[in-house]
Amino acid sequence: MQGLPLLAPTTMPNEIVPIAGPGVLRSALPFSPGIRAGDYLFVAGMASADENGLIIHDLFENEARRTFENLGRVLRSAGLDFSRVVQVRCYLQRQEDWDAHNRIYREYFTEPFPARTTLIGCLGNLVKYEVDCIAYAGAPPQH
């Protein structure tokens, strides 16, 4: 990741910092879109929603891309990108979307892929797709 500064290295390991920024989802619900704790960023479940947290219903592929764009906004507001993600949890409404999910996932993540868990049939009718993740926000690896 070149060109994007990481969060200030003065963040103490026991300090908890909420993430906010341009385009980052705001919601009346009681959660933070992202929390930096020590060297890790924990991103809440993102879905196909606008900046104010209003769900946008669409075709699966459009909801999935909108979900990843929302996740990317939180990462960028913390000075990170998708390459810093170490764990991903994906939630699919329907088994039929499995292939599209993997195809779209590869648009945002490359090898080495983050550790991943995928749950199917757990979203009810609210959204078709949701993703949360953990990213490493410590010092980049030295080559």
Range of the domain at 62: 16-136
Query: What is the number of structural domains in the chain?
Result: 1
Tell me if 3 is assigned to some domain. no
- What does the block give as tokens for 102? 């993997």
**pLDDT given at position 45:** 96
Rounded to whole angstroms, what are the CA distances from 126 to 16, 47, 95? 30, 10, 16
**pLDDT given at position 22:** 80
**pLDDT given at position 141:** 58
Distance CA 81, CA 47 (A): 18
Tell me if 8 is assigned to some domain. no
In this structure, what CATH number is given to the domain that contains residue 27? 3.30.1330.40
**pLDDT given at position 143:** 55
**pLDDT given at position 39:** 94
Tell me if 57 is assigned to some domain. yes
Tell me if 2 is assigned to some domain. no
**pLDDT given at position 4:** 42
Tell me if 39 is assigned to some domain. yes
Tell me if 82 is assigned to some domain. yes
Say what the pTM is: 0.86
Distance CA 4, CA 10 (A): 17
Distance CA 127, CA 63 (A): 8
Lookup result for tokens 């945002």: 108
Tell me if 4 is assigned to some domain. no
Tell me if 5 is assigned to some domain. no
Q: What is the pLDDT along the chain (143 residues), one digit of tens a residue?
A: 344 444 444 455 568 999 988 888 888 788 899 999 999 999 999 999 998 889 999 999 999 999 999 999 999 999 999 999 999 999 999 999 999 999 999 999 999 999 999 999 999 999 999 999 999 998 765 65
Strands (E), 11-124: 16-18, 34-37, 40-47, 85-92, 115-120
